[in-house]
Every structure is written in C-alpha cells, then in structure tokens.
Amino acid sequence: MRGQWSLLLGPARLCLRLLLLLGSRRRCPPLLRGLVQRWRYGKVCLRSLFYNSFGGSDTAVDAAFEPIYWLVDNMIRWCGVGRNDIATVSICKKCIYPKPARTHHCSICNRCVLKMDHHCPWLNNCVGHYNHRYFFSFCFFMTLGCVYCSYGSWDLFREAYAAIETYHQTPPPTFSFRERVTHKSLVYLWFLCSSVALALGALTIWHAVLISRGETSIERHINRKERRRLQAKGRVFRNHYNYGCLDNWKLFLGVDTGRHWLTRVLLPSSHLPHGNGMSWDPPPWVTAHSASVMAV
C-alpha cells in the first residue's frame, strides 16, 4: 500500500513543482499566478502555525489568526476600501490594515507610523519618515549649541564656583544677594548645558551611526536578529535600504546637488524627504551609483 502511495506522490510532487515554476515566470496566466501565490501563502501560514523562530505565545496566537487577517485584508480590498498599488509586506494586527515596508505600529500613538524610528517621550510624538531629518537636525544643532555654551562659559563657571566655595569662610565674603544669585545661576547653567551636551551628543552619535548604515532604531534590532539567524545557516544578511554611507546621508538629508549641503543642511529647509514612505525606490542617482559599485 505504501509503495502505491509513493508511486503516486512522486509524479504529484513533480507536477506541483512544474506548476510553481511556471507560476513564478513573468509571462504566465494570471489565474495560475494567483493559484501559485495562494499556495505559497497557505504554506507560509501552515508553517508559521507549527514553527516560528521569533517564538512566544503571542506569535502562536497571531499565527493562528493569520487566516482571519487574510480574510479581512481581502474583504477590504474587494469592498474597494484602501484600494491602491502600494506593496505591503504584512497586516498590522492592531489597525487590521495592510502595512507597507518599514512601517511599524506605535502603541503610544495607537497608529501605524511610516518608517518608524522610535516614539520620542520628550517630543511626545513618533519619529518617522516625515520628521526623522528634523529630529536629527534638532539633536545635532542642540548638541552643538550646548557644547558652545559650556565651552564659552568655562571661565565664568570657574570664577562663580570659586566664589561659592568662599561663602562659608570666616569672615564671610561681602557678596550682595544679586551676586550670589549670579554665581549660582552660572554654575547651574554650566552643569545643565554640559549634561545635555553629553546625553544628547551620545544620542546624536548613535543616530548618526544608524543613518550611516541605512537603518532605523527598530530595524537595527530586526536586522541584528536576522543577521544572526542567517549567520547560523552560513548565509550573509544584506540590508536593502543601505546604499553606502555617503548616499545614505544624502538620501536622509535630501541632498540631490552640491548646493543642497548649504541650502538644505546648514540652513533651515522645509523640503520633504524622498519618496512617500510607502514604496522604497531610491532616487535615480542612488540606483546609478549602486549599479556602478556593483559592476566594479
């Protein structure tokens, strides 16, 4: 009996592989392509029910509800709500809505944020596609301002600090109330500026490293996990949004020509970032440059 089954299974597998091969070709009937896509999606769903390297009971529940998400997603599309050509990578489990690449759900803002970096508690807002540059510029120029202030008031700070140290000497110094307030304010100013320069400087450097790598704070965790997972399999991870350090910066700051370093970086500018945050095609100059590097 088992021999008969294996005789049937062999040709069936061959047929299935042939169908999958035909379905992945560009010039294939839409019906076949649709069937192949459904088959692959079903396979992923079924596998995710039994195994998921990211583990956890939440993942198991999410995987179990995957067919419902699929149903809701298709119903939304059939009803014509949110009909568009945006390539989505998954469905947000909270919004129950298709989610483009690099988009993440912020539990504090309670909505999906395009190219989400992090939720900033100081700004009480999410840092994402449209305000990432403003956030970085704010951190960078604020750090520069604090360093300038700390460095410029170093002599004043030393004098004020030395004066405060004499307050409890006998006989007591003859400083007026106004002079004492000035001394304490100067010391307070210097400590505040120096601490902000250190803390914000560290944050700015960290974000500069991430921007140079072409990843966001969230993607850093995801990519690190993925890098380790692929490394264990002897494969190499490649970040598709990393176009090289200089191009990453030019893309992030919106520098298309040499003049933009002055008008868009050093001077305040309200230009919009490249792309709409939903599809991630780099500008032509990045593609051309990357292609030439690949050719070399």
DSSP bridge partners of 104: 113
Binding flag, residue 94, Zn ion (CB under 5 A): yes
Binding flag, residue 92, Zn ion (CB under 5 A): yes
Among 28, 60, 88, 105, binds Zn ion (CB under 5 A): 105
CB of 132 to Zn ion, least distance (A): 13
Q: Is 120 assigned a catalytic role? A: yes
In the window 153-172, what residues touch Zn ion (CB under 5 A)?
Answer: none
Q: Of 22 and 106, which has the nearer Cβ to Zn ion?
A: 106
Cβ burial, residue 115 (10 Å; 0-12/13-18/19+):
buried
Binding flag, residue 109, Zn ion (CB under 5 A): yes
Binding flag, residue 112, Zn ion (CB under 5 A): yes
Euclidean distance between CA atoms 271 and 288, whole angstroms? 23
Among 36, 126, 139, 211, binds Zn ion (CB under 5 A): 126
Q: With CB under 5 A, what is the number of residues at the site for Zn ion?
A: 10
Strand, helix or coil for residue 112? strand
* Backbone dihedral region for residue 254 (phi beyond 0: left; psi -120 to 50: alpha; all else: beta): left
Q: Of 92 and 218, which has the nearer Cβ to Zn ion?
A: 92
Structure tokens at 5: 């089954």
Active-site residue identified among 45, 92, 109, 120: 120
DSSP bridge partners of 105: 112
Euclidean distance between CA atoms 249 and 253, whole angstroms? 6
Among 19, 22, 45, 106, binds Zn ion (CB under 5 A): 106
Task: Write phi, then psi, for 258 (nearest 5 degrees).
Answer: -60, -35
> Which are the catalytic amino acids?
120
* Residues near Zn ion, by CB under 5 A: 92, 94-95, 105-106, 108-109, 112, 119, 126
